[in-house]
Amino acid sequence: MRCPPLLLTLVLALATYTAATIEEKDYWMNLGRSHLEHVLSKQPNTNLAKNVILFVGDGMGLATVTAARIFKGQQQGMEGAEKGSLVWETFPDVGLVKTYNVDKQVPDSAGTGTAIFTGVKTNMGVVGVDARVPKGKCDATQVKKASLDSIMQWAQASGKLTGFVTTTRVTHATPSSTYARSPHREWECNAKIPIGATNCVKDIARQLIEDEPGRNLRVIFGGGLSPMGVANYTGPDEEVCKRTDGRNLADEWVRDKESAGVRATFVRNNGELARVTPGEHDAVMGLFATNHMEYDAERDQGPEGSPSLLNMTTTAMRLLQKGPNGFLLMVEGGLIDQAHHQNYARLALMETVGMEATVQAVLEMTSREDTLVIVTADHSHTMTMNGYPARGNDILGMAHNSTKKQLFETLTYANGPGHYDHLNNATDRSSVYLDPSQMANRSDIHYRHFAPIGIKSETHGGEDIAVYAIGPFSHLFNGVHEQNYIAHAISCAGQFGPNADMCKSTKSAASGFGSKAHPIAIMLIFTFVRITLL
Ligand SMILES: *[C@@H]1O[C@H](CO)[C@@H](O)[C@H](O)[C@H]1NC(C)=O
Ligand SMILES: *[C@@H]1O[C@H](CO)[C@@H](O)[C@H](O)[C@H]1NC(C)=O
Ligand SMILES: *[C@@H]1O[C@H](CO)[C@@H](O)[C@H](O)[C@H]1NC(C)=O
Ligand SMILES: *[C@@H]1O[C@H](CO)[C@@H](O)[C@H](O)[C@H]1NC(C)=O
Ligand SMILES: *[C@@H]1O[C@H](CO)[C@@H](O)[C@H](O)[C@H]1NC(C)=O
Ligand SMILES: [Zn+2]
């Protein structure tokens, strides 16, 4: 991508904004024209993507992206924050992604993660195996036949360093889809594998440290001390897997690396993470919570506390940038999804903005010439942005001002636990629901937005999500794609894995013989066919 330099763009944009006010037609005519010039100036970048960084905002549907854009602007005191953008919204290429699983209209993170990382769509709830394996059904022969290789494996085979960073447990659905094969996403530790299936597959945590490609990962950052057998469960929220075999997989991982001459270390908190240096360490496992990590807004930032997604990612980058053949890093903003499941709209937006800061940091540490950065989601949620709130209205506020109509919030969920918080339980009640504008704890991060259907955990949404890309071959993301296409595009751009050769010849073809060959070849074939037919 060779766009006009950022400064020039800013100056142009500034000139545009000062020339006319938003009410005047000139404002919009100038804005439209300058964006058109920007789009016309785009050139495809056909360099080799030596490095690939893939961000997955778990559950980051389009309503979340739009709301986070406005939320971020409003937090910064920006006037008319609707016109702002998150950093990935300035990327040159964008596509839409169909997220359905082979067996479900609305997907889960295991099925979608498998599609993104292996190039094969599968069933909901299974990890790293194709849809011949029904969820929870363990037939050793079938699982073996259905096993998939991931982009991590493809990258490792071509000599790249690999790793992942997540804010969930390292054995949770999204990260495990990069390295594991299991008929059930919840078989994270030995205790969760049902009797009868124990001889069929290893638990996901063991696969991470014993099998390919997990054991070759150079960076593993996230939560999950419990499934890895490091400590007792004390963490928040979701049920967690507790090992019963007495194994400490983090210790075993370090010993396995060291016996292979790889300088490895295991870290548990900010203080220990800060002591990691690329000069002294080649492989680092960081487990910063028993279960999932804490929301960025709630974590202890001190030396005993846990790092932000940004800190984990920049540390990971420094370790992976050592490799002469480039690297592949997957970064998951995993708590966007966790927050939505609780109808915590504010937290979901905060986590999205936290991931944006991480994307920004990654862009600053890399070059557009050799690094492909992709930002996508695995699936959406049921949060919708609705009503006709005034421009500049608090994105977390009410959708209208009228005293004559029932009040509701701009960000409303279709279902979830927020339903119960909004019930009017008074015996002499005049309405089914409480007035949301009068709820005292609206600004609390644990305030639940309204949902008309009450269920314990809000569900995912099934509409398309977006994929944004910048760097070599970012133009492969353009149009409406099946989700499994993402792995194929990465393979092409990075020239590793099954499509390693498909992006190779493009550069010479565009400038030399290739571009003329097509019309000539087509003419020859056409002539040949005509002669044959006559
Ligand atoms: C778990 O907690 C129990 C009781 O507090 C303790 O006896 C045991 O040593 C702990 N196990 C680990 C692995 O920390
Ligand atoms: C995390 O990031 C902050 C801000 O960039 C920095 O001050 C801090 O030292 C980092 N902590 C670690 C453990 O890297
Ligand atoms: C309600 O009116 C106030 C004052 O005009 C305005 O600031 C606010 O954004 C309006 N809210 C909605 C939801 O339109
Ligand atoms: C109303 O009652 C339901 C059912 O007992 C409960 O779950 C909910 O929390 C209550 N809501 C409020 C706002 O008190
Ligand atoms: C917010 O208020 C509602 C109703 O008043 C209550 O049910 C809920 O527990 C409160 N939430 C928090 C986080 O305090
Ligand atoms: Zn989810």
Please give the pLDDT value at position 105: 98
Q: With CA atoms as reference, report the closest residue to 53 among 534, 525, 500, 469.
A: 469
- Asked if residues 188 and 177 have their Cβ atoms less than 8 Å apart, the reply is no
Bridge partner list, 182 = 127
Which atom of ligand 3 is the closest one to the Cα of 390? 14
- CA dihedral for 95, 332, 186, 456, sign (positive or negative): negative
Ligand 3 midpoint to CA 77 (Å): 16
Task: Say which ligand is closest to the CA of 111.
Answer: 6
Which atom of ligand 2 is the closest one to the Cα of 311? 1
Q: Can 508 be counted among the known catalytic residues?
A: no
- Mean pLDDT estimate for the chain: 92
Catalytic member of 34, 109, 147, 474: 109
- By most ligand atoms within 8 Å of CB, the mutation choice from 189, 225, 232, 241 for ligand 1 is 232
Torsion of CA 388, 394, 400, 403, to 10 degrees: -170
Ligand 5 midpoint to CA 414 (Å): 19
Q: Which residues of the chain have pLDDT under 70?
A: 1-18, 232-239, 505-534
337 known member of a binding site: yes
Instruction: Compute the distance between CA of residue 403 and CA of residue 91 in angstroms, rounded to an integer.
Output: 42
Task: Say which ligand is closest to the CA of 231.
Answer: 1
- Token representation of residue 301: 């930032």
- By most ligand atoms within 8 Å of CB, the mutation choice from 342, 343, 423, 446 for ligand 4 is 423
Task: Say which ligand is closest to the CA of 423.
Answer: 4
Instruction: Compute the distance between CA of residue 280 and CA of residue 505 in angstroms, rounded to an integer.
Output: 39
Taking only the tens place, the pLDDT of each residue in 488-533 is: 999 999 999 999 999 996 554 444 343 444 544 545 555 554 544 4
Ligand 6 midpoint to CA 59 (Å): 6
Q: Which helix (H) or strand (E) holds 264?
A: strand 264-267
Q: Which helix (H) or strand (E) holds 220?
A: strand 219-223
Ligand 2 midpoint to CA 310 (Å): 8
Taking only the tens place, the pLDDT of each residue in 451-490 is: 999 999 999 999 999 999 999 999 999 999 999 999 999 9
Give the Cβ contact number of residue 404 at 10 Å.
5
Type of residue numbered 127: V
CA dist 51 → 362, 416, 472 (Å) = 11, 39, 9
Q: Which residues surround ligand 6, an ion (CB under 5 A)?
A: 337
> Global pTM?
0.90
Shortest-distance Cα residue to atom 2 of ligand 2? 311
**Apex CA 164: angle with CA 158 and CA 170, to 5°?**
130
* Ligand 3, residues at Cβ distance < 6 Å: 389-390, 393, 398-401
Shortest-distance Cα residue to atom 2 of ligand 5? 441
Bridge partner list, 415 = 453
Shortest-distance Cα residue to atom 5 of ligand 5? 439
Q: In percent, how much of the chain has pLDDT > 90?
A: 87
Please give the pLDDT value at position 511: 45
Taking only the tens place, the pLDDT of each residue in 100-150 is: 999 999 999 999 999 999 999 999 999 999 999 999 999 999 999 999 999
